[in-house]
């Protein structure tokens, strides 16, 4: 537990509403619901960014500034697979099986904690730097690869919700999270507006036939997403 968190719990201005105790398969935890003084507001920066969410291995999120976001838990995934294979060779509920089950639960918990920590830090840093973060409206329907695992889902809805929560908490006067229509964001050249109707899904870079610009598919889409918001095409 951090010193800052202990100070918050011990503050005379903190009011405890309720405490929830839960069990993750290995340990018991206490969750505190408290009321305290609102945090210091973050200053407006005048910066805005478009975000393209992807289901490929080039980063699950690419921004209009060309930044790629990765969440790598490949080692954790490999360990989970390894332990599952060992358990399949053991007699169910045997002493060795139970020891492996505890090891497996530790890896699951570690992966979950890493993901939660990653989302909290990333959303705070984005809100601190930008006043507006723009996405396509269909973000919740895209399957994200985590560490190359097709059967894992990145919690996009929770990521968006945490962004909204942090804007409300730290920058209530900012435009915050905005959405635009997704039509042709990858196919439209952000330089000249030409639409490449022949662009294939697996094509990561393409050359505009009208202006000759070489475009990164994902960065181009993110720029178009931001431009649509600038043009007043945001969805209410």
pLDDT average, residue stretch 24-50:
81
- Confidence band of 23 (pLDDT split at 50, 70, 90): confident
Sign for the pseudo-dihedral over CA of 212, 217, 222, 226: positive
Half-sphere exposure of 107 (CA within 13 A, CB side): 17
Question: Which residues have CB under 8 Å from 132's CB, separation 6+?
Answer: 48, 49, 174, 175, 176, 178, 229
Confidence of residue 201 (pLDDT cuts 50, 70, 90): confident
CA angle 71, 76, 78 (to 5 degrees): 115
Average pLDDT value for residue range 183-191: 93
| Percent share of the chain, pLDDT over 70 | 83
DSSP state of 139: G
pTM value surpassing 0.75: yes
Q: What is the rounded average pLDDT of the residues 105-125?
A: 90
C-alpha span between 170 and 37 (Å, rounded) = 12
Contacts of 63-69 with CB under 8 Å at 24 or more apart are 63/219, 63/222, 64/219, 64/222, 64/223, 64/225, 64/226, 66/216, 66/219, 68/218, 69/122
Does the pLDDT of residue 146 top 60, yes or no? no
pLDDT digits (tens, 9 = 90+) for 90-104: 999 999 999 999 999
Q: What is the pLDDT of residue 172?
A: 94
| Burial class for 73, CB neighbours closer than 10 Å (0-12, 13-18, 19+) | buried
Mean pLDDT over 41-69 rounds to 89
* Residue 156 or 10, more confident: 156
**Among 95, 91, 107, residue whose Cα is nearest residue 26:** 107
pLDDT score of 1: 46
Where in the chain are the domains? 1-37, 38-230
């Amino acid at each position: 537990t951090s010193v800052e968190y202990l100070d918050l719990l011990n503050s005379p201005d903190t009011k405890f509403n309720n405490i929830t105790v839960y069990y993750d398969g290995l340990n018991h935890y206490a969750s505190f619901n408290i009321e305290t003084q609102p945090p210091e507001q973050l200053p407006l920066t005048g910066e805005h960014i478009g975000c393209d969410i992807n289901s490929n291995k080039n980063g699950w999120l690419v921004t209009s500034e060309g930044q790629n976001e990765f969440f790598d838990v490949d080692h954790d995934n490999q360990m989970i697979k390894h332990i599952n294979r060992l358990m399949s060779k053991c007699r169910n509920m045997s002493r060795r099986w139970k020891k492996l089950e505890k090891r497996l639960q530790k890896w699951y918990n570690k992966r979950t904690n890493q993901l939660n920590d990653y989302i909290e830090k990333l959303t705070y840093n984005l809100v601190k730097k930008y006043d507006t973060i723009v996405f396509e409206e269909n973000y919740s329907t895209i399957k994200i690869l985590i560490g190359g695992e097709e059967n894992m889902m990145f919690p996009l809805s929770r990521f968006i919700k945490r962004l909204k929560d942090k804007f409300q908490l730290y920058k209530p006067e900012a435009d915050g999270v905005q959405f635009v229509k997704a039509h042709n964001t990858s196919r439209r050249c952000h330089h000249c507006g030409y639409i490449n109707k022949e662009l294939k899904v697996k094509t990561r870079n393409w050359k505009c036939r009208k202006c000759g610009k070489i475009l990164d598919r994902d960065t181009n889409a993110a720029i178009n997403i931001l431009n649509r918001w600038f043009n007043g095409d945001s969805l209410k």
